């Protein structure tokens, strides 16, 4: 591509926990880059998804849901990741969950947008909204608080409204060289993607309290090429699941190892689909007390 005609746009995806930000990232990129679960505070760091269409490169930055009252250092780091991603943006897409009523927290975040920021309001999950009057009602409340560049009802899950979102984002592209190679889809390492896929499966299967205290560290990630032509190549992945208490460790392992087997089986399938190679996955569980307040672990496992 001729450098002079190249364009790019940095698009930061922001919102409260569980609004559907990571679902939106995955829909826009067409890849399962970010973990998605029904539990709030799934995303813990900024995750970049890159889409290059002809001369234009779109860099989408999925961020953790803003935690209004941070309870630990991990929460503080999450909010810092949002601030940083926000300052890099050509345009911010602010995602709200239309299956819930607007909250003080939602309105508080919107009030804090500055005049010089470009913000598009996305009314997400409209597939699940039965009374369509709620859409007009929400627009009325939120547009009084801030002058959005645009307001678009979407379903990040079904793709409804996403074409219009692409067209709207196009208005914010700038002449600029591409920041990433045109075939790159994310800035996350393969290890980090693998760790998120495993954590996603843990969050989906474990009851409410434990998932937030879980972290997954990848110890081994290496390909074994088949010695024979007819044989299959294998990706060996070994991971440690960190939890905060001995009692949690028991739950993660489950009766006679049932939970760990279930999570391992589901994670292996996600990994095989994503990396398109046979995966040999080994999981261990370790206790690291109060790791969400320990910088070393947060640095090594969450934000690497
Ligand atoms: N019905 C419906 N559900 C959706 C839609 N988008 C997301 N969801 C669901 O909402 C839940 C949260 O989605 P995520 O994408 O993980 O939300 P998030 O904003 O990234 O959440 P955090 O990372 O915790 O801040 C999941 O159960 C999704 O399947 C949508 O358009 N329609
Ligand atoms: Mg998320």
Per-residue pLDDT for 304 more than 70?
Answer: no
Instruction: Give the pLDDT of residue 248.
Output: 94
Mean pLDDT within 41-63: 96
Mean pLDDT within 177-202: 96
Per-residue pLDDT for 49 more than 60?
Answer: yes
Q: Is 49 in the pocket of ligand 1 (CB under 6 A)?
A: no
Mean pLDDT within 63-88: 94
Q: Is 40 in the pocket of ligand 1 (CB under 6 A)?
A: yes
Per-residue pLDDT for 3 more than 80?
Answer: no
9 forms bridges with which residues in the sheet? 58
Among 15, 33, 36, which is best to mutate for testing ligand 1, by the most ligand atoms less than 8 A from CB? 36
Per-residue pLDDT for 161 more than 80?
Answer: yes
Mean pLDDT within 73-87: 94
Rounded to an integer, what is the distance from CA 181 to the centroid of its chain? 21
Atom 2 of ligand 1, nearest CA residue: 125
Residue ranges of alpha helices (H) inside 37-72 are none
Q: Is 23 in the pocket of ligand 1 (CB under 6 A)?
A: yes
Per-residue pLDDT for 2 more than 70?
Answer: no
Q: Is 20 in the pocket of ligand 1 (CB under 6 A)?
A: yes
Per-residue pLDDT for 1 more than 60?
Answer: no
d(CA 195, CA 143) in angstroms, rounded, equals 39
* Atom nearest to 64 CA in ligand 1: 25
Per-residue pLDDT for 43 more than 70?
Answer: yes
Per-residue pLDDT for 24 more than 70?
Answer: yes
Ligand nearest to the CA of 95: 1
Instruction: Give the pLDDT of residue 301.
Output: 80
Atom 13 of ligand 1, nearest CA residue: 20
Domain boundaries, the chain: 3-175, 190-302
User: CATH topology for 3-175?
Assistant: Rossmann fold (3.40.50)
Ligand nearest to the CA of 82: 1
Instruction: Give the pLDDT of residue 230.
Output: 78
User: Would you say 264 and 270 are in contact if contact means Cβ atoms under 8 Å apart?
Assistant: no
Q: Where are the beta strands (DSSP E) in 98-188?
A: 119-124, 150-153, 174-175
Q: How many CB atoms lie within 10 A of CB 68?
A: 15
Among 18, 27, 37, which is best to mutate for testing ligand 1, by the most ligand atoms less than 8 A from CB? 18
Mean pLDDT across the chain, nearest whole number? 94
What is the pTM assigned to this prediction? Answer: 0.95
* Atom nearest to 155 CA in ligand 1: 31
Does residue 232 or residue 126 have the better pLDDT? 126
Q: Is 168 in the pocket of ligand 1 (CB under 6 A)?
A: no
d(CA 69, CA 19) in angstroms, rounded, equals 17
Lowest mean pLDDT across 118-127, 151-160, 189-198, 205-214: 205-214
Lowest mean pLDDT across 14-28, 270-284, 289-303: 289-303
Among 16, 23, 64, which is best to mutate for testing ligand 1, by the most ligand atoms less than 8 A from CB? 23
Band (pLDDT 50/70/90 cuts) for residue 210 is confident
Does the domain made of 190-302 have the CATH classification 3.40.630.30? no
Per-residue pLDDT for 283 more than 60?
Answer: yes
Q: At what angle do helices 162-170 and 21-29 cross, to 10 degrees?
A: 80
How many angstroms separate the alpha carbon of residue 229 from the centre of ligand 2?
A: 41
How many angstroms separate the alpha carbon of residue 269 from the centre of ligand 2?
A: 21
Ligand nearest to the CA of 16: 1
Instruction: Give the pLDDT of residue 200.
Output: 96
Mean pLDDT within 105-126: 96
Mean pLDDT within 144-148: 97
């Amino acid at each position: 591509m001729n450098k002079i005609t190249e364009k790019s746009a940095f698009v930061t995806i922001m919102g409260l926990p569980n609004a559907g930000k990571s679902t939106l990232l995955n829909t826009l990129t067409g890849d399962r880059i970010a973990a998605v679960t029904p539990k709030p505070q799934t995303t813990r760091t900024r995750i970049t998804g890159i889409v290059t269409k002809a001369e234009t490169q779109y860099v989408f930055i999925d961020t953790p849901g803003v935690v209004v009252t941070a309870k630990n250092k991990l929460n503080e780091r999450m909010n810092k990741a949002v601030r940083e991603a926000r300052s890099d943006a050509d345009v911010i897409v602010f995602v709200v969950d239309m299956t819930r009523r607007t909250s003080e927290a939602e309105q508080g975040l919107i009030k804090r947008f500055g005049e010089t920021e470009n913000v598009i309001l996305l009314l997400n999950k409209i597939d699940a909204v039965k009374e369509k009057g709620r859409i007009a009602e929400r627009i009325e409340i939120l547009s009084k608080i801030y002058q959005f560049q645009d307001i678009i009802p979407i379903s990040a899950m079904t793709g409804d409204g996403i074409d219009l979102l692409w067209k709207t984002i196009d208005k914010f592209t700038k002449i600029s060289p591409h920041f990433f190679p045109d075939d790159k889809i994310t800035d996350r390492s393969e290890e980090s993607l693998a760790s998120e896929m495993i954590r996603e499966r843990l969050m989906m299967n474990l009851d409410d309290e434990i998932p937030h205290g879980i972290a997954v560290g990848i110890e081994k990630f290496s390909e074994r090429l088949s010695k024979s032509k007819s044989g299959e190549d294998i990706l060996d992945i070994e991971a440690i699941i960190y939890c905060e208490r001995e009692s949690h460790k028991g739950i993660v392992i489950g009766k006679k190892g049932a939970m760990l087997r279930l999570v391992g089986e589901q994670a292996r399938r996600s990994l095989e689909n994503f990396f398109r190679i046979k995966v040999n996955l080994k999981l261990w569980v370790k206790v690291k007390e109060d790791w969400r307040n320990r910088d070393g672990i947060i640095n090594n496992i969450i934000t690497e």
